[in-house]
Amino acid sequence: MRGKMLIKSVKLDNIRSYTNQSIEFPEKSVLLSGDIGSGKSTVLSAIEFALFGLKRKDLSGSVLLRHGRKQGSVELNFMIDNKDVIIKRNLKRGKDDVKQDTGYIIVDGVKKEATAVELKTQILELLGYPSDLVSKSKDLIYRYTVYTPQEQMKQILASDVESRLDTLRRVFGIEKYKRIRENTLIISKGLKEKINVFQGQIEDLDEKQDGRKQRKQEIREIDEKIKELLPSLDDANEKLKLKKSEIESIEKNIKDLNSLKEKLSVNEVNLNNNQDQLKRNKEEIIKTEEEIKKTKEEVKDKQVLDVEILKKDITKRQENISVIENRLDGIKKDIVSLEVEKQTSDKLKEKINKISECPTCLQEVSNDHKMFISGREDENVIYIEQKIKNNNSKKDELEKEISMLKEGLEKIRKKESEISLIKLKLVHAEEKTKTVERLKKDNENIEKGLLEVQNDIKDLKGKVEGLKDNEESYNIIKKEYDELNRVEMDIKLKKEKLTSEKETMSNFLLSLEEEINKKLEVKDRMKNLKEKHNWLNKHFVNLVTTIEKHVMIIIHQEFNELFKDWFNLLIEDEILNARLDDSFTPLIDQDGHDVDFNSLSGGERTSLALAYRLGLNKVINDLITNIKMKDLIILDEPTDGFSTEQLDRVRDVIDQLNLNQTIIVSHESKIEGFVDNIIRVVKEDQVSKIIDN
């Protein structure tokens, strides 16, 4: 069975009218028999779902999952390429719709959990479908080879030419040629747009190249001008060197002259300063001598006592005052104490006269006792007052004595100050005498220095006079040097200006070179794009169209022959013939007249569709060599509208197909006699079941 496919069984769990049903499929021809609406086509939809999953329009989850159930599944067991495969897909009802849940696939006993997309990829690989179908209409080939639902083939026959050709291109796998042409036009348009962009970029290339040539000529002219300036610049440099040497020599003499002038100026300043100082010293001597004379006159008749004796007398008097003040403080304290004692006696008398009972023993205080206490305290007060009077007398005597001692002390202190002042004046007079002597000596030195400075000034003036001519020579040569320097600077500025112009032009030329090189690169790229654009438009598109036509011719020839053979087998009518035109549209001829598809009888339309389907099946299987489902076909109600004679011809169709497995869905009981196996489907209480044959 290598390279062949055989469906072994399918298990439906909550799929449309099925609740839980397993169906075994034998080899050779198998008939799914049952009344219309019993659930025969549901089995075919379940097989397609197990292989390829849900399709939004044709096979949605909400259509497959039994009404009112939350979950459902289909498990398909088949043999392919000597591999035993079991695939299970699950459905789960969500809030808004029904979606596929994770399923699994078992290949030769090896199980793998997989998502819907992963299952699809592995199934297409097992079936030998082209890999590019993973992201496209995955079961298109299956629909036009193995299983086509009722009426779908009639729809393709009744559709417009372009729709039919697009469908067949996809079925035959040659829609790629159309896509190639469309993509080529897109690429060609993109190339043309790029060419236009490049053309715009190089539009000024000739102008840029002319500009480059002009700039190079201008740079050469600048080089010539710079070359012409160099001799003048060298000559100016030589003359400047000579003048500079002369200036340096004169500048040395002038430097010496300035140094002499500076020394002369310093000496003249020193001379003036010394003369001023001499004058000030003389004035100071006169003033100081007068002050000394005045001081001596002031102290001449004044007695000068020993200050130390006076200080001792002051100390002794201060000690006496301190002793008397201490005695005075003691008397003052005694007076205060006596005053307190007197107040205590007065308070006691007042208190004893007010109480009638002793606060300590609580006995009654008699008047005699009160009089005794009062008399005693009166005597005590008289005694205290006498003592206070005596102490006040002593206090007055001591305060008078202290006052007299302080007056004497003040007189002695005044005498001490006068003596100290006299001695200070004498000291100052002595210092001034020394100052006079020092100033006289300074004057002698200044007078000697004045003579020396005057001699130096006379000598310096002579030297300055001898160097005076150098200043005039320097001014003349400096003027000549400045003129030469100006000439040299003018030449340098011209050279620098030319050099700057050259540098600017060179930079511009460099930028221009880069721009030209880029534009030349763009020109080369544009040339390459033009060649590609020309090749695509004039050669490649024509080649693709030719290849497509050639392939379509081959397909058309084979398809047309197969279609005619199957149609003639199903319709044994010599005056009714059918063939395919270039657009694969069936053309019906009845006794030399064209007949419209819709004007045919129901059986004739079904025969035409079945012939188209069987021919298409053979062409696709021959064209796509890797498909591993070539030995399997499923026919869904292939005899709709057939007459009794046409039903008899179904036996011939099955015999000529001679496939490993042919599954037919039909409610026609007559077909039961044409097949090897029958599976009966019934529907009871809205539940489809398989009954034993």
Q: Is the pLDDT of residue 264 over 70?
A: no
Which band of pLDDT confidence, cut at 50, 70 and 90, is reported for residue 1?
very low
> Residue 437, class by beta-carbon neighbours within 10 Å (0-12 exposed, 13-18 middle, 19+ buried)?
exposed
488 near 295, Cβ under 8 Å? Answer: no
387 near 352, Cβ under 8 Å? Answer: no
Rounded Cα gap, residues 481 and 85, in angstroms: 112
Residue 477 CB contacts under 8 Å (≥ 6 apart), including other chains: 243, 246, 247, 250
Rounded Cα gap, residues 245 and 252, in angstroms: 11
Question: Pairing mode, if any, of strands 677-684 and 28-33?
Answer: parallel
Q: Could you tell me the residue ranges of all domains in the chain?
A: 5-158+571-691, 302-466
Query: Mean per-residue pLDDT for 119-124?
Result: 88
Q: What is the pLDDT of residue 458?
A: 66
Rounded Cα gap, residues 469 and 459, in angstroms: 18
What are the counts of helices (DSSP H) followed by strands (DSSP E) for the chain? 14, 15
3-state secondary structure 360-374: CCCCECCHHHHHHHH
642 near 606, Cβ under 8 Å? Answer: yes
Q: Smallest Cα–Cα separation from 545: which of 164, 182, 172, 166?
A: 182
Q: What is the pLDDT of residue 271?
A: 65
The count of other CB atoms within 10 Å of the CB of residue 137 is 14
For the chain, give the percent of residues with pLDDT over 90. 16
Phi-psi region of 362 (alpha: psi -120 to 50; beta: other; left: phi over 0): left
Q: Is the pLDDT of residue 446 over 80?
A: no
Rounded Cα gap, residues 413 and 313, in angstroms: 10
Q: Is the pLDDT of residue 74 over 90?
A: yes
Q: What is the pLDDT of residue 571?
A: 85
Q: Compute CA distances 395 → 329, 383, 390, 404, whole Å.
A: 9, 19, 9, 14
Average pLDDT of the chain, as a whole number: 81
Helices 175-201, 161-172: crossing angle, 10 deg rounding: 100
614 near 566, Cβ under 8 Å? Answer: yes
Q: Is 336 in a helix, a strand, or coil?
A: helix
Rounded Cα gap, residues 501 and 327, in angstroms: 116
| Token pair 């000697």 in the structure block, residue | 448
- Looking at CATH, the fold of the domain delimited by 5-158+571-691 is given as Rossmann fold (3.40.50)
Query: Mean per-residue pLDDT for 540-549?
Result: 89
Residue ranges in 66-174 assigned as alpha helix (H): 116-127, 140-145, 152-158, 161-172
Q: Is the pLDDT of residue 417 over 50?
A: yes
Q: Is the pLDDT of residue 305 over 60?
A: no
Q: Is the pLDDT of residue 640 over 90?
A: no
Lowest mean pLDDT among 284-288, 308-312, 380-384, 468-472: 468-472
For the segment 193-211, what is each residue's pLDDT rounded down to a tens digit? 998 998 888 888 888 888 8
Q: Is the pLDDT of residue 689 over 90?
A: yes
The residue type of 682 is V
- The DSSP secondary-structure symbol of 670 reads G
Q: What is the pLDDT of residue 340?
A: 87
Q: Smallest Cα–Cα separation from 123: which of 630, 627, 640?
A: 627
Residue 358 CB contacts under 8 Å (≥ 6 apart), including other chains: 364, 365
Q: Is the pLDDT of residue 8 over 90?
A: yes
Check residues 102 and 133 and name the one with the higher pLDDT: 102
Which band of pLDDT confidence, cut at 50, 70 and 90, is reported for residue 582?
confident
Check residues 330 and 170 and name the one with the higher pLDDT: 330
Q: Is the pLDDT of residue 461 over 90?
A: no
The long-range contacts involving 187-196, CB below 8 angstroms and separated by at least 24 positions, are: 187/536, 188/533, 188/536, 188/537, 191/529, 191/532, 191/533, 191/536, 192/533, 194/526, 194/529, 195/526, 195/529, 195/530, 195/533
Q: Is 53 in a helix, a strand, or coil?
A: coil
220 near 514, Cβ under 8 Å? Answer: no
The tally of CA atoms less than 13 A away on the side-chain side of residue 159 is 17
For the segment 492-535, what is each residue's pLDDT rounded down to a tens digit? 788 788 888 888 888 888 888 888 899 889 889 989 999 999 99
Q: What is the pLDDT of residue 250?
A: 66
* Range ranked top by mean pLDDT from 83-97, 511-525, 609-623: 83-97
* Range ranked top by mean pLDDT from 77-91, 114-128, 189-203, 578-592: 77-91
Query: Mean per-residue pLDDT for 35-63?
Result: 87
Rounded Cα gap, residues 447 and 440, in angstroms: 11
Rounded Cα gap, residues 625 and 671, in angstroms: 32
* Range ranked top by mean pLDDT from 28-37, 362-371, 432-441, 594-603: 28-37
Rounded Cα gap, residues 279 and 264, in angstroms: 23
* Range ranked top by mean pLDDT from 331-345, 412-426, 469-483: 331-345
Which band of pLDDT confidence, cut at 50, 70 and 90, is reported for residue 629?
confident
* Range ranked top by mean pLDDT from 13-27, 270-284, 464-478, 515-529: 13-27
Count of positions (residues) in the chain:
693
Q: What is the pLDDT of residue 139?
A: 57
Which band of pLDDT confidence, cut at 50, 70 and 90, is reported for residue 454?
low
Q: What is the pLDDT of residue 2?
A: 43
Per CATH, is 302-466 categorized as 1.10.287? yes
Lowest mean pLDDT among 105-109, 247-251, 507-511: 247-251
Lowest mean pLDDT among 135-144, 238-247, 473-482: 135-144
Question: Pairing mode, if any, of strands 83-93 and 687-691?
Answer: unpaired
Question: Pairing mode, if any, of strands 632-636 and 593-595?
Answer: unpaired
Which band of pLDDT confidence, cut at 50, 70 and 90, is reported for residue 272?
confident
Q: Is 596 in a helix, a strand, or coil?
A: coil
Query: Mean per-residue pLDDT for 135-140?
Result: 54
| Token pair 């044959």 in the structure block, residue | 693
Q: What is the pLDDT of residue 527?
A: 92
Burial string for 633-660 (b: 16+ CB within 10 Å, else e) reads bbbbbbbbebeeebbebbeebbeeeebe
Q: Smallest Cα–Cα separation from 151: which of 636, 667, 620?
A: 636
Q: What is the pLDDT of residue 482?
A: 79
Lowest mean pLDDT among 64-68, 86-90, 491-495: 491-495
Which band of pLDDT confidence, cut at 50, 70 and 90, is reported for residue 134?
very low
Q: What is the pLDDT of residue 91?
A: 93
Which band of pLDDT confidence, cut at 50, 70 and 90, is reported for residue 147?
confident
